[in-house]
Structure 1
Amino acid sequence: MDIFTLILWGLLIGFIGFMLYRRLATPKYLTEFTPSEFRENYRKAQIIDVREPREYNGGHILGARNIPLSQMKQRLNEIRTDQPVYLYCQSGARSRQAARLLKKKHGHEDLNHLKKGFKRWDGKIKQKK
């Protein structure tokens, strides 16, 4: 292998590593809550389930609104900027992405999410019939 090929491989691996870190790391502006911490304060906030409608209909946190991550850009105006936002998804990855979008495109300050997502939720849920 020549030096040019080694440099290209290094850049590719570095780029992939950076993208994985960006997708999986919790940003500093996002507060991560355990289920019990989430439950303590979520009644004073907007609870947004960023999963797809079929996931939401299968069971969601009582009082949560469904704004899927795939529709978030088009529906940003539905989320108030003067109230805390509590986000969750199935595992936590999509809610981190939603928080990044809300911070960057809509200027939200009080952003929180459920650590490890709905799969760790042990509180009340509602299911659509």
Structure 2
Amino acid sequence: MSYSVKELKSPHVLSQFRFHPLKQLIAAEWESRRKTRERGYIELKNIEQILACYEEIKALLFIGFALDFPDDKRCPEMMETYIRQCCIAYGFMKDIPTRNIWLDLIECFLLLWEEDLLKMDEDGNLI
């Protein structure tokens, strides 16, 4: 379900994000793949590594998307909405580390989309 910014501020809606184990797992998996030992995060310029990270967690993203948007097409526009919504919700909860992970994920997703590296079927659904 797509929420407005006002709805995302609601404690009831925020608790759905805070205590959702899949959203926590997606954030943890993304962070573990993006973080490097010596220099912080993988440079955004290294698109091959970003694509590899995305490919490793996209199944989790697709499951999370399907749970939140069961009636919507899994197109890049709606996936962007899903990821942004998670980012905004964690920001409202003042969970800045998790918000930053989702922010990094949206930046990487948009980069892959701009570079036409997201796999889609003939109907425009992400695969």
Fold in common (TM above 0.5): no
Answer with 1 or 2: which has the greater Rg. Answer: 1
Going by fraction, where is strand more abundant, 1 or 2? 1
Going by fraction, where is helix more abundant, 1 or 2? 2
TM-score w.r.t. the length of structure 1 is 0.30
